[in-house]
Amino acid sequence: MTAIAGDDGRADFLGHPKGLTFLFGTEMWERFSYYGMRALLVLYMVKHLLQPENAGNVLGYDAVKGTLEFLFGPLDIQPLASQIYGFYTGLVYLTPVLGGLIADRWLGRRRTVVMGAVLMAIGHFMMAFEPLFFLALFTLILGNGAFKPNISIQVGLLYAPGDARRDRAYSIFYVGINLGAFLAPLICGTLGEEKGWHYGFGAAGIGMLIGLCVYLWGTRSLPVDNVAKRGAAQEKREKLTGEDWRAIASLLILAVFVTFFWATYEQQGNTIALWADGYTNRYVNLLFWQGEIPTTWFQAFNPFMIFAFTPFVVALWAWQARRGREPSTVVKMALGCLGVALANLIMVAAAWDAETGAKASALWLICYFAILTTGELYLSPTGLSLVSKIAPASILSMLMGVWLLTNFTGNFLAGYLGSFWSGMAKADFFAMIAAIAGAAAVAIWIFDRVLTRRVAAPASASA
């Protein structure tokens, strides 16, 4: 893989190529738009759009509701909203497979990113019109599919093979993701709750337009597209060995268990938002401010904690490594699932607290997000690292795409699990989520010996 700078290649952003500055800014604003809309989505559906007096105005409502009820049985407002949320957040992780194919075969990465950004901006503005709700979601899904894989690939293409700065570049890029995700609930969420839902969705659309402008502004500093040639000119793949097939099988089985991590983790944008809205005492009295914290602001806790906790987690691993006690990649992933289980056990205690008649303290949610975020840091980046370590080089990109599909299946399952929210005692619901995450932790832990041997072996095709 050859990195080709768009202009003179000068480094002016923390010792990195100029293009990283623009990719950072583009991704930050795209994530602002995505998480701004997501922070409002379930609340908007439950409290407004799917109410009987409004649902009839939505084009395709009867068809969507009928299809979901055919699959899952009768659905009241909250379970229906949860299923729609699950399908939307799931499909945004399926369409990147198509977006990557379009870029590789026909349009190239730059044009595909621009196409995706335009589609997403249109989708966010369409959300301001109630009849276009489902068409808006469909447009956002297509736009995200075109945008997401191709913006991330360009980060790596800024660097020559073996350039040690590449890992740090992705860390910087990840900060951009979480900076946008942190600001989104504070701005879009506040506008949506205080001024009107459509103001929040409109702000998300404006954020996406800003991201598109940043990308177009920095085009000359980005890697030149290299659209793959078809037919006989394509690179011939190496024949897979028995060891390669065992590695593929291990990854696919492990991916099944990781799906349950995402199914339980993604409750934060669904049922946890409903808990914050209806069961949490959000009133605070500080020296400099007193009032009720908007529900959507709780969605900012996770991204804030990600860039606050990352240095400490990395330092802990380094300290353990110096003593020969750093957990293997697979064990870290098991600990990530365990973190989600513990976070939901905290919510079991919060539910017991709320049963006394008063709303639960917001401190329960703060503790929940702190442990959940730590679990994410143990699983999400290490999972990508694992794929790069053991996947055969000839099909590395394909297996990375398959690995990202765990977000797709996990979000679908998250929507299904969330549909039980209104029909269960809240302590029982959180205990169910904790049990699922805990079972996934045990299953991944069992896989440690199998996969650790593969990681330690000289892979026939390491990335």
**Confidence at residue 374, expressed as pLDDT on a 0 to 100 scale:** 92
Cα 151 to chain centroid, rounded: 15
Residue 73 backbone zone (phi > 0: left; psi -120 to 50: alpha; other: beta) = left
For residues 198 and 126, is the Cβ–Cβ distance under 8 A? no
Q: Residue written as tokens 């390491």?
A: 462
User: What is the CB neighbour count within 10 angstroms for residue 62?
Assistant: 11
**Confidence at residue 232, expressed as pLDDT on a 0 to 100 scale:** 43
Structure tokens at 118: 């335009």
- Cα within 13 Å of Cα(370), Cβ side: 8
Distance, CA of 327 to CA of 321 (rounded, Å): 8
Distance, CA of 256 to CA of 285 (rounded, Å): 45
**Confidence at residue 306, expressed as pLDDT on a 0 to 100 scale:** 85
**Confidence at residue 391, expressed as pLDDT on a 0 to 100 scale:** 67
Going by C-beta distance under 8 Å and a sequence separation of 6 or more, which residues neighbour residue 236?
Answer: none
Of 215, 269, 240, 198, the C-alpha closest to 21 is 215
User: What is the CB neighbour count within 10 angstroms for residue 328?
Assistant: 16
CB crowding 16-39: b at 16 or more within 10 Å, else e: bbbbbbbbbbbbbbbbbbbbbbbb
For residues 419 and 74, is the Cβ–Cβ distance under 8 A? no
Structure tokens at 146: 């075109």
Structure tokens at 79: 């379970």
**Confidence at residue 2, expressed as pLDDT on a 0 to 100 scale:** 43
DSSP collapsed to 3 states, 140-151 = HHHHHHHHHHHH
Q: Which helix (H) or strand (E) segment is 280 a member of?
A: strand 280-281
Of 366, 341, 182, 204, the C-alpha closest to 275 is 366
Cα 293 to chain centroid, rounded: 24
List the beta bridge partners of residue 292: 283
Of 446, 301, 456, the C-alpha closest to 365 is 301
Going by C-beta distance under 8 Å and a sequence separation of 6 or more, which residues neighbour residue 167?
Answer: none
**Confidence at residue 461, expressed as pLDDT on a 0 to 100 scale:** 39
Residue 13 in 3-state DSSP? strand
Structural domains for the chain: 10-227 (1.20.1250.20), 241-281+295-454 (1.20.1250.20)
Residue 285 in 3-state DSSP? strand
**Confidence at residue 462, expressed as pLDDT on a 0 to 100 scale:** 38
Side chain identity at residue 319, one-letter code? W
Residue 291 phi, psi (nearest 5): 155, -170
Written as one string, the DSSP assignment of 25-40 is HHHHHHHHHHHHHHHH
Q: Tens place of pLDDT for every residue, the chain, 463 residues? A: 444 444 444 556 567 788 888 988 998 999 899 989 988 999 999 999 999 999 999 999 999 999 999 998 999 999 999 899 888 988 888 888 788 778 877 888 889 899 999 999 999 999 989 999 999 999 999 998 888 878 877 877 787 766 656 655 676 777 777 888 889 888 998 899 889 999 999 999 999 999 999 999 988 888 877 564 444 444 455 677 777 787 788 888 888 999 999 999 989 888 998 899 888 887 777 666 677 778 888 888 888 898 888 888 878 877 888 888 888 878 889 999 999 999 999 999 999 988 777 788 888 999 999 999 999 988 887 776 677 667 675 565 566 667 778 888 898 898 899 989 988 999 999 999 999 999 999 999 987 766 665 554 444 433 3
Structure tokens at 195: 């001024």
Side chain identity at residue 234, one-letter code? Q
Eight-class DSSP state of 11 = E
**Confidence at residue 125, expressed as pLDDT on a 0 to 100 scale:** 94
Of 86, 419, 413, 416, the C-alpha closest to 256 is 413
User: What is the CB neighbour count within 10 angstroms for residue 151?
Assistant: 23
Q: How far is CA 196 from CA 53, 123, 128, 189, 193, in A?
A: 17, 18, 10, 10, 6
